[in-house]
């Protein structure tokens, strides 16, 4: 079986590389390899003889830095590759790097976002969340996950095929992460009003027993019924409250790709929670 690849975004503006620390933890837990990717660019080229010289010298310096950053990982016998890339648009560069490296996950240090930053995709993580071809883990710090709990958020308030597919992807990624780390997996669903779970899950009459709502959800997604939380309210509030209540280390949530002005103004639940929660978020689509 081919080794999984964690594309780790290296920030050229800081010495604190939380994403690389998180990648190291996951590589040890899962046996994955790390592809350390750094997109760099110099706007002020006055100190260089030409644009070509600026690009050449900057890439050399960036590669040297990448070698130093990843040396301790190689000493741990983690399979590491590096890539320095010259481009003004780092999100687009990361997205293309996913294809080149065959990445199974992108890991990046989360950036704070104001309402203005949500609309300026070149200064935010949202473009990456919406367009990456694989799950994106936005990490708050490189500190080890302490509580050993993963929370997966699903939308069972509707039974359309798109939501059903996204739910399956969310739970699949959460299950993989839970198995790799040995963490407990919890599942949360927000409901608005009364829901007919039999209709949502397309249960036949003879399939209807006396299971509780949590048991029905647990059966559908293959989780422990005692770790299923179903609450009435908005998804944003229910997910945030549950993450705090169970002391989750990481939230796994689906994000639907959006384009245009509505994406910048409205956003989605994953994007709104990104700046509310002080935990890591694994966004899948």
Per-residue DSSP letter, 285: -
pLDDT score recorded for residue 271: 78
> By the 8 A CB rule, do 251 and 281 touch?
yes
pLDDT score recorded for residue 155: 86
Query: 187-232: per-residue pLDDT in tens?
Result: 999 987 666 555 555 554 445 566 788 888 898 899 999 999 999 9
**Minimum mean pLDDT among 145-159, 204-218, 266-280: which range?**
204-218
Decide which of 9 and 113 is more confident: 9
Reading the block at residue 57, the tokens are 């010298």
Element (DSSP H or E) covering residue 284:
strand 280-284
Q: Under 8 Å CB-to-CB from 96, ≥6 apart: which residues?
A: none
The CA distances from residue 119 to 79, 85, 135, 137, 194, in Å, are: 37, 25, 22, 21, 35
Mean pLDDT score, 39-55: 90
* Count of beta carbons in the 10 Å neighbourhood of residue 81: 14
Q: Under 8 Å CB-to-CB from 89, ≥6 apart: which residues?
A: 122
> For the whole model, what pTM was predicted?
0.88
3 pLDDT higher than 90: no
pLDDT score recorded for residue 200: 58
**Shortest CA distance to 86 belongs to which of 55, 47, 129?**
55
54 pLDDT higher than 50: yes
Residue 253 pLDDT level (bands cut at 50, 70, 90): very high
Percent of the chain's residues with pLDDT above 90 = 61
Q: Under 8 Å CB-to-CB from 133, ≥6 apart: which residues?
A: 95, 98, 99, 103
DSSP lists the bridge partners of residue 27 as: none
Residue 12 pLDDT level (bands cut at 50, 70, 90): very high
* Count of beta carbons in the 10 Å neighbourhood of residue 276: 11
> By the 8 A CB rule, do 124 and 263 touch?
no
> By the 8 A CB rule, do 146 and 25 touch?
no
Q: What angle do CA 134, 184, 143 make, to 5 degrees?
A: 70
**Minimum mean pLDDT among 144-158, 186-200, 243-257: which range?**
186-200
State whether residue 190 is helix, strand or coil.
strand
Angstrom distance (rounded) from CA 69 to CA 192: 48
Per-residue DSSP letter, 4: P
Mean pLDDT score, 145-158: 89
Domains of the chain with CATH codes: 5-109 (3.40.50.620), 149-284 (3.40.50.12370)
Query: 70-111: per-residue pLDDT in tens?
Result: 999 999 999 999 999 999 999 999 999 999 999 999 999 987
């Amino acid at each position: 079986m081919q080794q999984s690849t964690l594309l780790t975004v290296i920030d050229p503006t800081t010495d604190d590389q939380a994403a690389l620390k998180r990648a190291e933890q996951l590589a040890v837990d899962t046996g994955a390899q790390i592809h350390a990717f750094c997109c760099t660019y110099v706007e002020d080229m006055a100190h260089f003889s030409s644009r070509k010289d600026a690009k050449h010298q900057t890439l050399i310096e960036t590669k040297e830095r990448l070698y130093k950053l990843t040396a301790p990982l190689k000493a741990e016998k983690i399979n590491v590759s590096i890539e320095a890339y010259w481009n003004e648009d780092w999100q687009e560069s990361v997205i293309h790097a996913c294809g080149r490296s065959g990445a199974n996950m992108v890991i990046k240090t989360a950036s704070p976002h104001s309402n203005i930053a949500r609309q300026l995709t070149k200064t935010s993580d949202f473009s990456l969340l919406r367009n990456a071809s694989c799950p994106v883990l936005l990490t708050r710090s490189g500190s080890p996950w302490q509580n050993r709990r993963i929370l997966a958020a699903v939308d069972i308030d509707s039974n359309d095929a798109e939501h059903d597919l996204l739910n399956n992807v969310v739970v699949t990624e959460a299950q993989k992460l839970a198995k790799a780390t040995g963490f407990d997996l919890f599942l949360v669903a927000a409901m608005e009003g009364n829901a007919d779970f039999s209709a949502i899950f397309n249960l036949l009459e003879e399939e209807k027993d006396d299971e509780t709502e949590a048991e029905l959800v647990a059966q559908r997604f293959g989780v422990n019924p005692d770790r299923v939380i179903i609450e009435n309210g908005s998804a944003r509030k229910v997910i945030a409250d549950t993450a705090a209540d169970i002391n989750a280390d990481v939230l796994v949530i689906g994000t639907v790709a959006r384009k245009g002005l509505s994406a910048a103004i409205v956003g989605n639940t994953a994007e709104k929670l990104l700046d509310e929660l002080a935990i890591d978020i694994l966004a899948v689509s």
